[in-house]
Amino acid sequence: MAWSMSTLVRLVALAAGGVMGAQLTAVTYPNNATSKPQMHVYVPDKPWSGQGKGPLVVAIHSCQSSGPSYFNNAKIPWRQGSDRKGYVTVWPSSPNNGGCWDVSSKRSLVRNGGGDSHAIANMILYAIEKYNIDKEKVFVTGGSSGGMMSNVMAAAYPDLIRAVSLYSGVPAGCFVSSGGGVAQWNNSCSGGQSRASVEQWGNVVRAMYPGYTGPRPRMQVWHGSADGTLSPNNYQETIKQWTNVFGLSQTPTSTVQNFPERNYRTENYGTEGMLQGIWAQGVGHSVPSNLTASEQWFGI
Ligand SMILES: *[C@@H]1O[C@H](CO)[C@@H](O)[C@H](O)[C@H]1NC(C)=O
Ligand SMILES: *[C@@H]1O[C@H](CO)[C@@H](O)[C@H](O)[C@H]1NC(C)=O
Ligand SMILES: *[C@@H]1O[C@H](CO)[C@@H](O)[C@H](O)[C@H]1NC(C)=O
């Protein structure tokens, strides 16, 4: 029997698609938190070619989004990064109405308290085992609500995460709800009225994992000067928070104008690679993710 050329071409294409077509996949993970966010994973076709086991990047979405829509958002570059460099990415989906992350209730603002942050930590633990990840190469990024959650993850799970690159968020604990509500909006914080001393902000982080004295993730904080959703004041408050946690001076050790983009300003605190602020002059909500700069921060 002679197969037509077009049938053959189609068969070959099908086979190639089956072998080459990495896809975002929903996975079930052991999760003993009260909160039950869905977990998606993207394992690219290209294997990690760097030294040792591969890294993991957790990409945390903004409000009114989900893991899959963040993954498919052309402005979110982490799928591209995965494909190019061969690292695994995890895409959590908020279980809350409105799709924001719970960064307001006590259960999310304390280690293993059963909230969204606890569930994301469970995703990280599962991914390390399942996808043969180097536990020294676990990184977290996110924008807006995902940027807020990135700060909370850094505070509550410093032992799990090596570095964070967060865009347009607020300090860890800034969105706290006095009534203990889950995923509540906080006008004082979003409006830039939540100001506190460096010590007070540092205490908020330390209270999320009391007694912890080990290493902390290296923090990169991006914020736009024209942010009309989460006041630009949150940039300085976040820097205050982490300088206190790291025991660093609030005066940058170096400042680079027009980097990584024109009108941006990069400020390093302490030894280079510990805490970096990137102030995006004239940029609103949210600062677009810069894959190169975030990957550089992670060291991947
Ligand atoms: C959830 O599981 C972890 C590790 O398996 C354990 O350390 C933790 O105490 C458990 N938390 C709850 C709320 O059951
Ligand atoms: C909003 O957050 C601030 C801290 O940033 C807190 O003091 C205040 O009580 C919160 N507001 C509400 C209504 O929960
Ligand atoms: C992203 O950052 C890098 C430096 O890490 C810079 O060279 C590049 O121009 C930036 N990309 C954009 C689109 O601004």
Identify the domain containing residue 198 by its residue range: 19-298
Catalytic residue annotation: 144
What is the distance between the alpha carbons of residues 162 and 154, in angstroms, rounded to a whole number? 9
Residue 132 included in any domain: yes
Give pLDDT tens digits for 228-276: 999 999 999 999 999 999 999 999 999 999 999 999 999 999 999 999 9
Q: Is residue 43 part of a domain?
A: yes
Residue nearest (by alpha carbon) to ligand 2 atom 5: 174
Q: What is the CATH number of the domain that holds 156?
A: 3.40.50.1820
Q: Is 186 in the pocket of ligand 2 (CB under 6 A)?
A: yes
CA of 18 to the centre of ligand 3 (A): 34
Total domains in the chain come to 1
Does any domain span residue 123? yes
Tens of pLDDT, residue by residue over 180-206, are 999 999 999 999 999 999 999 999 999
One-letter-per-residue 3-state SS of the chain: CCCCHHHHHHHHHHHHHHHHCCCCEEECCCCCCCCCCEEEEECCCCCCCCCCCEEEEEEECCCCCCHHHHHHCCCCCHHHHHHHHCCEEEEEECCCHHHCCCCCCCCCCCCCCCCHHHHHHHHHHHHHHHCCEEEEEEEEEEECHHHHHHHHHHHHCCCCCCEEEEECCCCCCCCCCCCCCCCCCCHHHHCCCCCCCHHHHHHHHHHHCCCCCCCCCEEEEEEECCCCCCCCHHHHHHHHHHHHHHCCCCCCCEEEECCCCCCEEEEEECCCCCEEEEEECCCCCCCCCCHHHHHHHHCC
pLDDT at res. 20? 57
Residue 199 located in a structural domain = yes
The answer to whether residue 3 is domain-embedded is: no
- pLDDT average per 10 residues of sequence, the chain (300 residues): 48 50 97 98 95 97 98 97 98 98 98 98 98 98 98 99 98 98 98 98 98 98 98 98 98 98 98 96 98 98
Is residue 247 situated within a structural domain?
yes
Asked whether residue 5 is domain-assigned, the answer is no
Nearest CA to ligand 3 atom 7: 260
C-alpha 261 – ligand 3 centre gap (Å)? 6
188 lines ligand 2 (CB under 6 A): yes
On whether residue 83 sits in a domain, the answer given is yes
Reported as a single tens digit per residue, the pLDDT across 80-93 is 999 999 999 999 99
